[in-house]
Amino acid sequence: MVFLVLISIGSFVAKDREFSENENRYLAQFPEISLDSIINCDFQDGLEKYINDQILGRDEWITIKTAIQKFVGDTEIGGAYVGKDGYDFEKITQDDVDQKLVDRNIAQIQKFFETASGTIDKSRLSFLLVPTSGLILADKLPANAPLFDQTAVIESVEAAMQDYNFVDVRDVLTAHKEDGVYYRTDHHWTSLGALLAYGEYCQSVGNSFDISDYKETIVTEKFRGSLYSKILDYDSAFDTIKLFEKGSGNKSFVVTLDGEKTEGFYHYNQLEEKDKYLFFFGGNYAEVVISDKEVLENATGGTTEGNSGETRNLLLIKDSFANCFAPLVAEDYDNVYMIDMRFFRGDMQEYMEANNITDVLVLYNVSNFISDKNIYKLN
């Protein structure tokens, strides 16, 4: 009784937290009290969420709970799977898949490509669908852990893209699965995974690529990502974030995030925060414009000197998996227009015409693609 009383008093006396860095989410605040909210139970529901989120020592209780679950052999914790060799996995089962939404998203990409093919060659309309770590690293999943059939989704997309350029990266990621193509504690692929996929994209569209041209740089060895935030395991592994940049001859770029010029692709200040994946661009935006600095200066100065031949402008329709991919592909184009449909509110056809788009790449992770309800805005 003393224990419960002290915890209860401490929870209400302690200053409420707005955001949990460990869980990477905003916490519930004390609900508004009104007669209507009490009658319809909104106040009661809000109070329960508030107590759950603001209880004294919440992070420590979750860590203790996780340790107990692991001790008794539980491999499903916090909506994620605890796998082998320090790998954690997203738990997405077949019951989580809305097949009507999947079919609708595929149809929307088809329609978008069909419209775009009126002015862009079909070979320049590409779709790169990134498998989740659960498919590539299936041998590291817990025994009998159910996952959705993403092979069926990938094959459905591939069949729908037969008139266009479908980039299948499963083989190259599987061939290098022991080299660290996915993070252990985060659902994203690593910079190496993105580099290997970029090589496949280059091969499919005829751009030059030699992996030996790229220099590896470690920027942090203390990354714990989104899956760690679900599980909160004190014994969880630390991931390493790396960069791959061309050793010589690489361009200089001007990067604009939602209309504001920024320091570039990489935000080193984010390496001091919990969510270190924000190192890439600092987050997600409706529009990111990456311009070759020389081409941009020539265009501003009213001359095309130094920019002979066709100007190539890539439209990159993306989710967060493209954040470590975009700096690689920017080397091949004069401008890259990176659009996140979750935040974009413009007319896509007008946007393509205004920016002289010559190439299109749709890049999604499978789990995001099957659940994204914004793809219809392409059309």
Q: Tokens standing for 36?
A: 């209507």
Among 123, 137, 141, 122, CA closest to 75: 141
How far apart CA 131 and CA 168 sit, in angstroms, is 9
pLDDT tens figures, 32-73: 888 888 888 888 998 888 888 888 888 888 888 898 998 898
The low-confidence residues of the chain, meaning pLDDT below 50, are: 302-308
Give the pLDDT of residue 308: 47
Among 165, 197, 168, 198, CA closest to 360: 165
pLDDT at 110: 96
DSSP category for residue 161: T
User: What is residue 302's predicted lDDT score, i.e. its pLDDT?
Assistant: 43
**Angle value at C-alpha 319, between 268 and 210, nearest 5 degrees:** 70
pLDDT, tens digit, for every residue of 157-168? 999 999 999 999
pTM assigned to the model: 0.86
Residue 225 structure tokens:
């990502």
Distance of CA 231 to the CA centre of its chain: 19
Spacing of C-alpha 248 from chain mean position: 28
Q: What is the pLDDT of residue 248?
A: 65
Task: Identify the DSSP state of 280.
Answer: B
Contact between residue 227 and residue 80 where contact means Cβ atoms under 8 Å apart: yes
Q: What whole-number distance in Å separates Cα of residue 196 and Cα of residue 204?
A: 13
In contact, 153 and 103? CB cutoff 8 Å: no
**Strand extents, DSSP E, the chain:** 19-20, 25-26, 76-77, 80-82, 88-90, 125-130, 165-167, 214-223, 239-246, 253-257, 260-261, 287-292, 313-318, 335-339, 359-365
Query: Token pair for residue 152?
Result: 């069926």
At 250 the pLDDT is 63
pLDDT score recorded for residue 12: 79
